[in-house]
Structure 1
């Protein structure tokens, strides 16, 4: 295309790729049949003006897009005309736009073979649709495949592409009735198509067989490699199917020997199984016998506890009788004291009467002094008697006071003695009642345990409880009361073995150290034992303790190991005292929330009790 040149340097504007007359952009960059007149060209981009704008000052045309770019530029004084640099004013130029639309142009696909020539205004219609009745657009325009296979192709070649070349075209499998894309059919479908012909892997005379029939064919293929029918009895020869009969005829003796060995092996296996069966039957009989003995042991234990309970009740009755007798003794002593008081009162009255009589006699003797002058000796004798009686009376009074004091002290001592004896009897009665109640709770707990636990599984733990030798189960009753009233509870003593170290545990329900208030803490202490002279000191080993699950013989919790590392007082032999001054501590044995938690598999706190199981010492 020829275009006029300007003396001044034109502003460069990017030429749009869209050729639609209505689109926004610079001038039309098309292959015109004849060079456009110079008065139709934009003075900025030098292409036929799109949406032409006429400059009033100089009469030249500009594209609307190019002029807008010029007016909005920040580096150019856009108040002046871009061509003549005068004060700029503009109006739309519809005449120029119409003349540009009338220009004759070639199809953009001319180089590809399109021979279309027409006005510029018709180019968009030509490219999008043809003016003929076929209405398919320019045949040389490159478009994307309608199946979205990714191929860009000329419109005239699209039909052949869709029928013969497109990977996503719909085709039918030549072996079955399946329909799908060509890519799927020749790919994954033919890898699975049951009708697809496959060559026999043995290359037999049949040649190709359908995939769905291949398994049946391989079971009958004469060239297939198969095992000898006597492989189950030891023949390891493999031959082709058609040669199997010949092999069986040739190897009759070998097969007979294999059968003999197989039969002998079966006989040996049968004998071994019978021996195992006998062993298992014997073990089952032993288990039944042990279970029976254990039930008898439990029944005997319960009977023994019942007898002890009866003895305790009898002892309580005897103590009640003794208490009644003591009450009677106290009553008798009280009566005797009252009798002593009455005797003293009577003696006092007699002394008063004697005093009164003495005074009367003195008056009579004074009045009759003259009359009884001859009776002076008698009077002196009588006065002596009176004096003696007075002394005796004074002595009696003194003795009476002393006896009264002795009686009061005796009465006080008797009362104190009786009160102490009564307190002892009451404490003994209270202790006996608590023991009776505790024994009843133990019996009830034992019966509950017998109902809840599997007897064969619980046997080792019950045996350990009785012997006080590991394994050993410790029961802490009234856990909540211990938690409220005491900081520590000491377990019964136990031995790590029949001739091992003697130990005990101290349980702190409220915790200690890092576990204070949130956990149950447990301490392990050495004690002075019977076998200490034969043992190795200091102690080295780990004592394993866990919280016992009261629902079943599994899911025990809080397993900890008290490590005696041979260092410190806690590991040395205990001398001069019953228990070591220091122990091995576990501050966080079990979390309080975990202790009180209840699940269908475990429950550690039940009926106010917890159990600690000492499992081993290694």
Structure 2
């Protein structure tokens, strides 16, 4: 804040004599100036001698000194106040005398003194603790409360006590939040554990169902294989039996055919031999007797020969029978070997199927463990660690809270001694605030005492001359306020005639980050939210509220630390804070937001924290943003 210098008064004083010496927007017409002081007339009087108009103090000074009329030199004349001339002069547009200090006020001459006495925040005022320094009205309160070396010790102690109380309250809320988080984590762990048990039961049931299905499939395949094997063996046995029967039949037919052929040959030979013998016997009967012995001998030899040949044929048949028996044995042996090989192949295939099924089941179990069971176990381990850390943090916080409580107990005695003096100071500050406000405020709307840091939420600001600001299209800036002792610095900007989408139809409200004395120790960019309310004069309800969010969507220009100038380059707020139609008196809803051309705004709280998502009813002062109306607080 800029410190004032010299002995400049708190507001523009009335001169002892002469006209209105103020910075005018346009040069006043010469016919409105006093011929003596050459300034617009203060309390203009017209004289009867020449009809000229003078300041009351200027002409009375000349008249009482016995001097003649300054223009026509008549010694005796009468004076009369000129009301029409006075109205013209008082309607002249003037700047605030503190324009160089930063005040942007422009108004009629009739309102300048009231503005300087009550509304102007740039008028220099002396510190109430007699430190000899002067500050702008908007900054003197901060100096008196936080900077002045002559502050009463009771005020300093009270601030420390309040800071400790806020710290304890923050610690208590932090503990409650941690307890809530621990409770939620435990509930979540129980839910996850139940969910995991349910999933494990489902997985086990699914595995059992799959095992039963696979076992049934294997049994069905084995039964089918056994049936196929039996069928194949039966077919093979039938085939070999048919082949053996065919071979035996063929061999029997061959032996019978050969024996029949041999027997026919022998009979034919015998018949031929008998015929020859008979012919020879008939031809040579004589030789019969001679040859009887030879014939008998030959018959015997032939008989012996025939017997030998028959025996040989019989031996040959026995050999064929042995061959048939050997072939049958070979067929039976080959059949058995074929059955054993088929059985062995089926057993090998069954073992391969079993191994494939086991391998597939193991792979599915491993995959299931990696995909579901293992992540659940890791999640439970992580949650256990978080709960352990939260419990440890809660224990450390309990120790800190106990330390703070011990300190507060030691301060109880000092606080009791100073409570009486603090109450006196509170009443003095309340009287000063009422004097500065200039109008009666209902009890429920009175701000907290200055000893409770009135520039720290909850705090209120009154905007005067609403109609003038609306007609001129001028914005109104509130005194600065802090998020907390040693926190971020902000101010309100009110546009009565609206901005952007709300122009000409709505009241726009913006919150600007300001350059503060504690910026170096704060975290930037600022992240949090500011709750702004337009108060209803009729009752303690029906207020218009808007929560202004400073999140990532706001951009760095809105939330960054201010290093040059007083304000951030861009504000954050709502272009459609409230329609103009809602500001008027509404008997049915019992609401009225403008009384005596004044509006009252309240900063109910400032939350400094990280925001996970955006907030509703907020906007930046940018033409590309979308806006929403504010909510009504009942």
TM-score, normalized by length of structure 2? 0.29
- Structure showing greater relative contact order (alpha-carbon pairs closer than 8 Å, 6 or more residues apart): 2
Which structure: greater helix fraction? 2
